[in-house]
Structure 1
Amino acid sequence: MRIVDTSCLYRTKPMYVEDQNDFVNGACELETSLEPLALLDRLQGIEQRLGRVKKINKGPRNIDLDIIGYQGQTIREERLIVPHALLHERAFVLRPLCDLQHGRSWVVPTSQRSASDHLNDLNEDMQSMTVLGSEGASLAALDPKRRTLLMSILNVTPDSFSDEGRNFTKSFDRLQQIVTSHIAAGADIIDIGGQSSRPNAADISADEEIERVLPAIEAVKALPEAKDIVISVDTYRATVAEAAVNAGAHIVNDISAGLLDDAMLSTVARLGCTYAMMHMRGTPATMSSKENCTYPSDVTHVVADELEDRLNAALDAGIRRWRLILDPGIGFAKDLSGNLALLRRLGELRQDTRFHGMPWLVGSSKKKFIGTVTGVTDASDRNWGTAATVTAAIAGGADIVRVHDVEPMLSVVKMADAIYRA
């Protein structure tokens, strides 16, 4: 068996037997040489290994693997009925099924209607889940009342555009002081970067990047107050990502969505961690060129199409959809009008059916386009402009905002959430 595609995960209330915990539902597309009953045997073997105990029909169980469809066939066996007779009323099956590339257009053989048509008949009420950490932390991108998470930037580089290397230190105690201040200010996620991605930044080796990043991860892990903090590593190198995840990072935050290192997607798939994938063109050295900042048509539509290509590459590599976070790439291979358009129209990206249920990360903090609009040349003084972009991102549906100065942005996020997430 080979997994070809996966859906988002969805939390749903139980049907039929309602006195039980919520369910988490998902779907996947498989390639297999197994015949239907042999496939059923394989799936039931997996259930047994995971400790499934079935006490009552449709009652509580820790795992339930069903065959939704098999090559468009209608199967009526004593042990196996495909498609299920109640498929048409089960949004918890149809919604994940419609996330799959081939699932949304799949024609249910018993009704000759598509899965998406059946789903449209139902009043679905479920929340998608994107796993963030190993301790159960997750995002619910479809919850209209969700709280926006703050990703705090910790650049352990000597050439960061925003702080001129203020956090570049080899002192473990100093790193812990910095991390403690980020947590106290209200950070939910700490994003640790050891390689500057600003234009014309010096390119360091993977070994040097690892030497910068790992002590910062260890500093977070050693703090009792950081037990609920999600750790992200900001890197486009697979070897750095693997070292960071092995040291305790939960998220790989890749500005290139795998384009700058051919090994990145397969590495993330093998590690099984969450992957934030950003839209970018070129490299940090070339992304600001006229060629990379020129879009043949509407920038929002082109970014969506190019992100879909990277999403499909990630899924093909084996990264699960419920482990993916999307980023439109504000400030990366975009000119002023492109950055403003993406902030203005983030909601259109969120509503694109290709990305249904997936969370969005927006990082606009202190970037050059803010200085262009406001006339503030010093990046460290761009908090007011950043506040406006953070508010716009939340209005557009951002699930995570990536910021340099957590304390002032926490107030902005709280106010924007009160307006747009009430």
Structure 2
Amino acid sequence: MDAHQPPMHRAFIAFGSNVGDRIEMIEAACREMERASIRVKRTSSLFETAPMYVLDQDPFINGVCEVETSLSPMDLLDTLQSIEIGLGRKKLIDKGPRSIDLDILLYDQQIFSHERLSIPHQLMLERDFVLRPLSQLIPHERPPFPGHSTTYLAHLKSLAPPTPFPVATTPISPTFPAIHSTAPNRRTHIMAILNLTPDSFSDGGRHSAQDLDALTTTVRDMIHAGATIIDIGGESTRPGSQPVGEAEELRRVVPAIRHIRTAMPEAAGVAISIDTYRARVAEAAVAAGADIINDVSAGLLDPEMLPTAARTGATVILMHMRGNPATMTRLTDYPNGVVQDVGRELRARVAAAEAAGVRRWRIILDPGLGFAKNEPHDLALLRDLPQLRTGAVEGLEYFPWLMGPSRKRFVGRLTGVTKASDRTWGTAATVTASIAGGADIVRVHDVKEMWQVGRVADAIYRGVV
């Protein structure tokens, strides 16, 4: 370390908001910390929680971030309080409503006491809304009290479950409701596939950004059929496909996104996802109005993708794949079982996204059915999705999950239906299995039919009618 550089310290900051646009306030606080040279290294998920102590107030959004800073504890406190004031916080009632709250939980392993500040935070071990997100980041570490041998995760498990239970919250856009991946009564989102390609495995050549009238009709039909997300792709990633090039992909997708956002008021409440592994395409798509970056490679095929996703602030779908579309069918060895190995490889991509600056609450996961998988692998992932969601691999809890089984090759093999567009019935079974397993989004071609499947499956498995 440079002798002239101040030493760096690891700290954990809890944040919360229950006034105004709660998520935007928290993200603004993170940006302000970065501007103040407090580097946000990792974040927890966001949780919607009931108020504690003062009960007559709106629910909070809470979370925790790990930061790196050269500031002393008191200087860090002063900086955080300055950020709170700058973001409009007015403290009128102790533990009452607040636009933003930033509390220092830990600072290295130090015990620090001052009339304005105590580290570790004196109340954190009694607060589920602090321990739950903190346990995502450092589950097996221990509070720095003398003789203390209980981990943060063990402390969390010792608390009585709060009522109502905290709900993991993944924002999409200001005009689209957040995904609540742990809410038992949530609806499944139907993501409609809109391929603007001549060579996609199922619907290549059907749609084009050059015919805006036809595009309008297609998108309108998808929305009326029940789609809540439109996933737009300009390059096929089917097994063995060849890349088309960045310029051509941009030409295909950006005009379509811009048209939907500027000329289709009925699409105002629908999220747009850009299906691409190229950073420049993702950035241009978000600038044109896309809300979600759906990367089949989870950042592996373009090293600029994850930093770009972080810079745009868009929610990103990280899908599991090995190799590229030309090589992935040969990369299907899972020595520890497909669920364990896919989970561990996805966890590594989550870590890469966090290192690039993507907030954990901006990540959706996809196990990648049909990508570097054979039929038994696809079936195992459909069957065992609950294991991925609930802790078979530590570190994947609380994420939303997308499943994309529509018209896949394994459906054709099982049913004997060779024409992909005729695999509707088999796809219906896989969509039902996905919803039973806890999927938050299903990506489909046959929107009208799969909306009906989803509606009934939601009623059966989630009690949503």
Measured against the shorter chain, the TM-score band is over 0.9
Displacement of 1:294 = 1.9
**Candidates 99, 112, 118, aligned match of 2:136:** 99
Q: Deviations over 1:58-86 (max 9, x none)?
A: 01110000001111222221110122222
Further displaced range: 164-173 or 40-49? 164-173
Map of 2:22 onto structure 1: none
Letter in 1 for 2:116: R
Report if the CA contact (8 A) 1:72-1:107 is conserved.
Answer: no
- RMSD over aligned Cα, in angstroms? 1.1
Letter in 2 for 1:109: P
Check if 1:157 corresponds to 2:197: yes
Q: How many residues align?
A: 418
Displacement of 1:325 = 0.2
Report if the CA contact (8 A) 1:134-1:250 is conserved.
Answer: no
Letter in 2 for 1:113: T
The whole-number CA distance in structure 2 between the counterparts of 1:306 and 1:385 is 28
Q: Unaligned regions of 5+ residues in structure 2, if any? A: 1-37
**Candidates 121, 127, 130, aligned match of 2:158:** 121
The whole-number CA distance in structure 2 between the counterparts of 1:108 and 1:200 is 52
Change (3 A) 1:224 1:136: closer
The whole-number CA distance in structure 1 between the counterparts of 2:108 and 2:303 is 33
Check if 1:326 corresponds to 2:361: no
Report if the CA contact (8 A) 2:176-2:270 is conserved.
Answer: no
The whole-number CA distance in structure 2 between the counterparts of 1:155 and 1:47 is 45
The whole-number CA distance in structure 1 between the counterparts of 2:213 and 2:451 is 25
Report if the CA contact (8 A) 2:209-2:253 is conserved.
Answer: no
Trace 1:131-280 onto structure 2 (pairs within 5 A). 131-135=171-175, 137-221=177-261, 222-280=263-321
The whole-number CA distance in structure 1 between the counterparts of 2:206 and 2:259 is 17
Displacement of 1:164 = 3.1
Displacement of 1:169 = 4.7
The whole-number CA distance in structure 2 between the counterparts of 1:368 and 1:112 is 52
Displacement of 1:193 = 0.2
Secondary structure, counterpart of 2:443 in structure 1? strand
Check if 1:420 corresponds to 2:448: no
Moved over 6 A (4+): none
Displacement of 1:159 = 1.0
The whole-number CA distance in structure 2 between the counterparts of 1:312 and 1:262 is 14
Report if the CA contact (8 A) 2:84-2:100 is conserved.
Answer: yes
Further displaced range: 357-366 or 118-127? 118-127
Report if the CA contact (8 A) 2:196-2:204 is conserved.
Answer: no
Displacement of 1:190 = 0.3
Report if the CA contact (8 A) 1:268-1:275 is conserved.
Answer: yes
Secondary structure, counterpart of 2:170 in structure 1? strand
The whole-number CA distance in structure 1 between the counterparts of 2:86 and 2:209 is 48
Secondary structure, counterpart of 1:93 in structure 2? helix
Q: Unaligned regions of 5+ residues in structure 1, if any? A: none
Displacement of 1:373 = 0.6
Q: Deviations over 1:351-374 (max 9, x none)?
A: 123111110000010011100111
Report if the CA contact (8 A) 1:10-1:25 is conserved.
Answer: yes
Displacement of 1:200 = 2.5
Displacement of 1:134 = 3.1
In the superposition, the TM-score normalised over structure 2's length comes to 0.88
Map of 1:35 onto structure 2: 72
Map of 1:26 onto structure 2: 63
Check if 1:368 corresponds to 2:409: yes
Displacement of 1:48 = 1.0
In the superposition, the TM-score normalised over structure 1's length comes to 0.97
The whole-number CA distance in structure 2 between the counterparts of 1:361 and 1:36 is 41
Change (3 A) 1:25 1:169: closer
The sequence identity of aligned pairs, in percent, is 54
**Candidates 119, 130, 141, aligned match of 2:170:** 130
Check if 1:377 corresponds to 2:407: no
The whole-number CA distance in structure 2 between the counterparts of 1:68 and 1:299 is 38
Secondary structure, counterpart of 1:73 in structure 2? coil
